[in-house]
Every structure is written in structure tokens, then in C-alpha cells.
Structure 1
């Protein structure tokens, strides 16, 4: 059996980051983690474009347009949707997750779901680097690896 693995080098990659304005104190930490991970793995900051979305629900459309532009090897979507007292959370989190997944599947461009979906602000802060690692960095690393793995798949 052949085992195919990808490396974590971003030296020749061009990424877009989409981040939400909502919960910006949390999301800003995710963006910092994503940028740091990209550069620490050989990416150049000039090969990283950052787009600001009004909220998580709007992210899939922006991601779709960026993916269709052909300018990016991958897109990292970052945000924080925190549960409240209404069903709004379910619609926003579900819509963002489904839209991001569909964008990746329909365009063939890897798109990371780095949108935190938590019950509390404390949980979100922990996942933004205070306690449990930085999910923005993790999403970026997943995209670096995915792009490099996809490049190893033979074209028919």
C-alpha cells in the first residue's frame, strides 16, 4: 500500500482569510493565529489577503466569490458564533457551516471552517488561544496540508 502524506509548507501558496466583525475581540485572536501559522510554515505575508465579513452568515458567499476568482489556493473562514437565548444561533452556525462546506465541494478550492460555535464567551476565548490552542492556526494548518495533499493526487 502506498501512503501519501502532505507536508506543511506554505512557501508558494496564496491564501485568503475571511473573518467576521461580530465578536471581534475573539476573532482577532483567531486571525493572529492564522497569520502566524501561515508565516511560520514558509508562507509570505504578501500572499495572505484578509477580507472582513459583517457576520458568519455572510461568509459563505464571500468565500464562494473568492474561490471562483481562481486567485487562492485555499480560504480560511474565521468567526465566533456564541449561543444566546434564541434560535438565531442555530440558523447562523448551521448556515455558515453548510455554506462553507458547499463552497469547497462545488469549487474544488479547500475552504476551512474556522468559525467557533460555542455556548459561552469563555469557551470561545479558550479556543482562540487563551487555553486550548488557537483554532485559527489549526484551520490554516489544515488548509496548508490539504492543498499540498491535493497537489499529489494524479490528474486524469
Structure 2
């Protein structure tokens, strides 16, 4: 597990940013943790967000694209895929990653990648930001999206 090497937490007043969260519905306990981490980050950054739920991780990119088209400054994508005995894991992980990358590049919008791709349920729970978890990927994805949105806004204003 990574966990080490993360940058120091930097917060700022993000109240002027339009933020959306798109979250999958599979693996309820893990998703509840990811969403709670997102809420903690939004509070720390003085931001609010519109939250949209989708059936699974595969559906994240299309809804993230629709939100980007609506003018959101940051879109946080939350999902979890746990490896099984079929190639389904690879297909869904690849589709979600490629799709969310495309949203970011095609719309020049900050996309927080909060998609857990784990070998088992224990790994997912360790990253969900729940009590006893080693990492809080919902918080991290939200923080990354807000910091990137601020950078993009600065670039548009000519102040990198």
C-alpha cells in the first residue's frame, strides 16, 4: 500500500468554486467512507458540492462529462472495484480511468480520481477513510480536485 510520500495538506477558501461529486453505489460501506472523506475535505476547504449517484464505477465518466459540460470547476469521481475471478475488473478499471482522464482533458476541468481498484475488500476498507482505515482516498481525491481547479483558474487568469 502506498500511503507514504503524500504532500502536506494545503487548504484554501474554495467557496467560489463549483464542485460536483459523482459516486458509484456498489460496496456501500466503502462508498459511505469515501463520501464522508469528501465531505470532510469540502468543509476544510469551505466548499459545497452537488452530489450525483450512479449505479457503478463504469458509469462515472459519462456523468462526470455531463457535469463538466454544465460548467463545474471540479468533479470528484468516487468508486470502488474489487478484483474477482474474471477479467471484469480490468475492463471496468481501465474504462473508468481512461474515461475520467478524457473528461479532464476534453473539458479542461479538474477531476479528482477517487476510484479504488483493490484486490480484496480489506484493501478497499483500508483506503475508505473509515475508522481504522489507513488512508482516506475520498478526502485525497477531493483535495486534489480543488487544488487543481485553483491552478486551472489561475492559468486562465494568467497567474500560474
Answer yes or no: same fold by TM over 0.5.
yes
Superposed CA offset, 1:66-119 (max 9, x none): 10111x110000011000011000000110000000011001111121100000
How far does residue 145 in structure 1 lie from its aligned partner after superposition?
Answer: 0.7
Q: Give the structure 1 partner of residue 40 of structure 2.
A: 36
Q: 2:27 aligned with 1:26, yes or no?
A: no
Q: 2:84 aligned with 1:92, yes or no?
A: no
5 Å-filtered alignment, 1:1-150, equals 8-43=12-47, 47-70=48-71, 72-129=72-129, 130-150=132-152
Point out where structure 2 has 5 or more consecutive residues left out of the alignment.
1-9
TM-score (norm 2): 0.86
State the aligned residue count.
Answer: 147
What's the RMSD between the two structures over aligned residues? 1.5
The runs of 4+ residues in structure 1 deviating greater than 3 Å are none
Larger RCO, structures 1/2 (Cα 8 Å, 6+ apart): 1
Point out where structure 1 has 5 or more consecutive residues left out of the alignment.
1-5
TM-score (norm 1): 0.89
Q: 2:154 aligned with 1:152, yes or no?
A: yes
